[in-house]
Chain A
Amino acid sequence: MASNTSNSSPDGWTGRRLDMAEFGRRIAARKAELGLPDPPRNAGTNRTPSKRALLKAIEDAGGKW
């Protein structure tokens, strides 16, 4: 989890930070520890027309999400 503290820095970012690789390792370990089943994907019932069109375009382009 990201730090909950705010701190200014040379790049001007004052919010939380986290390192992707470290975070991935921690969450993967947590998943294994808890033995969580994968939750369901979104049913898609709330998708906007734009969203439905975009997902169809991705599928038409060969994407399998």
Chain B
Amino acid sequence: MNHYRPEFAAALRLLAQVSEAMVARGLRRPILVGGAAAEFYTTSALTTGDFDLCTFRQPELEEEMQKLGFVRPSGAGQMLKGWIHPGLALGFEVVAETPMDGAFDPETLVLVENTGAGAVVVISVEDLIADRMGQFASGSAPDRLDQARTLFRLQPALDRAYLAQRIREETAGDYGIEHLK
């Protein structure tokens, strides 16, 4: 864990606690996506502001988060769907029921063990790269290409066939794995 920022490591341990509580209820762990997944796969070379989660059981997840001290920020407007943990000054937000509108292979999800507090589930790095490429291709987030390239270069082993397929899908065929090199 010492390869990560202390704040990130603490947040991941909290997520592990929440995840294990879900399992104890007979439910699936939430899936970590977005910037926090990118921070995980780059050991904090990429950093994030909060943890984005996917779950079909948002009410139960938020119940478990409250048990661990998460609160709705005081004075928050109706726009706020996230939760913060005051002791650690970090935030979690359920952003969807499933990653990438379901356009991913569930068998590629990663169970990360030995976090210090249990296991967490993270979207695959291939899907994360494809997500970044899709945002880049949309023209709204030019910085995502550098992120995708960093993720690609850091991983010693990737399922290249799956990665190529997912990039094509997320960019409507405009980009491929060759744009990461």
Interface residues, chain A, CB within 8 Å of chain B? Answer: 1-2, 4, 6, 13-21, 23-28, 30-31, 34, 36, 38-43, 45-46, 49-55, 57-58, 60-65
Given A4-B157, A36-B150 in contact, is the A51-B93 Cβ separation under 8 Å? yes
- Which chain A residues border B102 with CB–CB below 8 Å? none
Chain B residues 93 to 128 lying within 8 A of chain A, measured CB to CB, are 93, 106-116, 124-125
Total contacts A-B at CB 8 Å: 158
Asked if A39 and B1 make an inter-chain contact with CB atoms under 8 angstroms apart, the answer reads no
Counting contact residues on chain B (CB < 8 A from A), the size range is 35 or more
A49, B73: Cα distance in complex, Å: 15
Q: Please give the distance in Å from B126's CB to the nearest CB on chain A.
A: 10
Prevailing SS type, chain A contact patch: mixed
Asked if A13 and B159 make an inter-chain contact with CB atoms under 8 angstroms apart, the answer reads no
Asked if A18 and B158 make an inter-chain contact with CB atoms under 8 angstroms apart, the answer reads no
Asked if B1 and A65 make an inter-chain contact with CB atoms under 8 angstroms apart, the answer reads no
Given A19-B113, A24-B43, A42-B141 in contact, is the A57-B82 Cβ separation under 8 Å? yes
Partner of A65, one of B41, B47, B112: B47
- Which chain B residues border A23 with CB–CB below 8 Å? 112
Asked if A54 and B124 make an inter-chain contact with CB atoms under 8 angstroms apart, the answer reads no
Q: Please give the distance in Å from A42's CB to the nearest CB on chain B.
A: 6
Given A17-B111, A20-B1 in contact, is the A53-B76 Cβ separation under 8 Å? yes
Closest to A56 in B: B73
Closest to B83 in A: A54
Task: Name 15 extra pairs, CB < 8 A, besides A4-B157, A16-B124, A65-B50.
Answer: A1-B157, A15-B107, A15-B110, A20-B112, A27-B3, A36-B45, A36-B153, A39-B46, A39-B143, A39-B146, A42-B143, A51-B82, A53-B80, A57-B84, A65-B49
The 9 nearest A-B residue pairs measured at CB? A63-B89, A57-B73, A54-B82, A24-B3, A1-B157, A53-B80, A49-B79, A65-B49, A61-B89
- Which chain A residues border B116 with CB–CB below 8 Å? 20
28 A-B residue pairings within 8 Å (CB atoms): A6-B107, A15-B106, A15-B109, A15-B110, A16-B109, A17-B111, A21-B1, A24-B2, A27-B41, A27-B155, A28-B3, A28-B43, A39-B149, A41-B143, A43-B143, A45-B141, A46-B135, A46-B141, A50-B80, A52-B79, A54-B49, A54-B50, A54-B73, A54-B82, A54-B93, A63-B88, A63-B89, A63-B90
